[in-house]
Amino acid sequence: MASTASTRFGDLLRRARQAAGLTQAELAERAGLSVRGINDLERGARQTPRKDTVALLAAALGLADAERAAFAAAARGGAGPIAAGPVQTDTLPTGTVTFLFTDIEGSTQLLQTLGTESYAVVLEEHRNLLREALTAQGGHEVDSQGDSSFMVFATAAAAVAGAVAAQQRLAAHPWPAEATVRVRMGLHAGTAQLAGDRYIGLDVHRAARIAAAGHGGQVLLSEATSALVAPTLPEGIALRELGPHLLKDLQRPERLFQLILPDLPADFPPLNALDRHAHNLPIQLTSFIGRERELAELKPLLLTAHLLTLTGPGGTGKTRLALWLAADALESFADGVWLVELAPLADPGLVPQTVAATLGLRDQPGRAVLEVLLDYLRSKSVLLVLDNCEHLIAACAQLAETLLRAVPGLRILASSREALGVAGARHHADQQAPGWHSAGA
């Protein structure tokens, strides 16, 4: 792929994609990006892609080192150099490594309790304690944002030693009386591709999801990490098997283990795994990198607006965005999140029956389906995901309005090529994502 730094990035991307024999949709699937985003890059609607987007595309296209350099140079065109990360690439271990993710449980509540200035002090003390403990065991800091950190170790034993030391230091630290700082940690040993100063690969996501499943003060290990460290655990430290758990974004359940540390809590609530919450969402087989901003913007709308409709032409990723948004909101709905697939449905009159069947409700002689639905949902906290409503607009809108008027704990997330037309909807558009409508209903 001959090029110069002045070559437009979109041209390089299109040539590389075509040389690889990929469609835009196939490249989007490989890279975990949206088709619209790739289309915008190729036609020049977006001139300066983010650094992580460039790295994902280069990895998905299988570019050689020289081609990656040209890719990065074109991406920087007119935007100045890309800022370096917290570490230099040549210091990062490669091959089989162990990833460690951490974050403070309840950090938002802690901020509200302490106030901005005191929270900033506590946050910095927490960061310093973590860095000192983890780097002393050979850890390399890959990223640090807010109260979260991402470290990598050359060996699983070093990662576990660092996690133990970090939890002990955090527990012994004299925090302010009103501050409870509990850090959860997740470790996974695997491989990932090093792209610049970042790791890319499913094992990185697996480690992050393992950490997110835990509770403050808890250290979780994948089965792969447990197998590596079990024979040589230091005296006084043990492993407790927690069984298989389905974690968000991962195709198969992950068998998890907990480190038992001396003089520190060993008993925690059930893990924050998908199998803890009632739902029928399918497992997502690809990552969602590059769409984090959309998720962050949409989740508050989902929880506050009674009806949220994702709109856009076919092939723009509405269903996938809806599924990820619904999975991210599982903990907010005590009675479950339920996907109602409407694409195969031809008769608008069967929309209520389809919703009822999804919820496991049976026909009751002498009672209308809508009446059965209302009785079942009336006191529940439920999210319904109505997918592919475009050919049943009127029926979906009528059902949504009827249910939402009677069920205060109900939220509806719909995907459609056009809005449902519910009164009070407002429209938001974004260059990379489908539009969306929200209604107070």
Amino acid of residue 143 = D
pLDDT of residue 275: 64
The C-alpha atoms of residue 158 and residue 98 are separated, in whole angstroms, by 9
The C-alpha atoms of residue 341 and residue 345 are separated, in whole angstroms, by 8
| Eight-class DSSP state of 326 | H
Whole-Å CA distances, 2 to 7, 16, 46, 244, 420: 10, 10, 22, 48, 49
Contacts of 251 (CB under 8 A, 6+ apart): 283, 285
Contact 192, 204 (CB under 8 A): yes
Sign of CA dihedral 230, 235, 241, 247: negative
Rg (CA), the chain: 24
pLDDT of residue 140: 93
* 3-state class (DSSP) for residue 220: strand
pLDDT of residue 291: 64
What burial class does residue 276 get, using C-beta atoms within 10 Å of its C-beta: 0-12 exposed, 13-18 middle, 19+ buried?
A: middle
Whole-Å CA distances, 28 to 33, 237, 399: 5, 44, 34
pLDDT of residue 250: 73
| Eight-class DSSP state of 92 | S
Q: With a threshold of 0.85, does the pTM exceed it?
A: no
pLDDT of residue 86: 43
pLDDT of residue 237: 94
Which residues does the chain have with pLDDT short of 50?
1-6, 78-90, 285, 425-433, 441
The C-alpha atoms of residue 206 and residue 225 are separated, in whole angstroms, by 12
pLDDT of residue 373: 94
417-434 residue pLDDT tens? 888 877 654 443 444 445
Sign of CA dihedral 195, 198, 199, 202: negative
**Residue (of 348, 388, 170) closest to 261 by Cα position:** 170
pLDDT of residue 355: 96
Task: Phi first, then psi: give them for residue 157, nearest 5 degrees.
Answer: -60, -40
Identify the CATH assignment for 9-76 out of 1.10.260.40, 4.10.520.10, 3.40.630.30, 2.40.340.10. Answer: 1.10.260.40
Contact 194, 68 (CB under 8 A): no
Q: Helices 9-19 and 35-42, interaxial angle, to 10°?
A: 120
The C-alpha atoms of residue 247 and residue 242 are separated, in whole angstroms, by 13
pLDDT of residue 45: 65
**CATH class of the domain comprising 89-268:** alpha beta
The C-alpha atoms of residue 275 and residue 425 are separated, in whole angstroms, by 33
- Considering the domain 292-439 in this protein, what is its CATH number? 3.40.50.300
Domains of the chain, residue spans: 9-76, 89-268, 292-439
The C-alpha atoms of residue 364 and residue 131 are separated, in whole angstroms, by 61
pLDDT of residue 303: 85
Contact 155, 225 (CB under 8 A): no
pLDDT of residue 440: 57
- DSSP symbols for 154-188: SSHHHHHHHHHHHHHHHHHS---TT----EEEEEE
The C-alpha atoms of residue 165 and residue 159 are separated, in whole angstroms, by 10
**Residue (of 286, 290, 285, 386) closest to 345 by Cα position:** 386
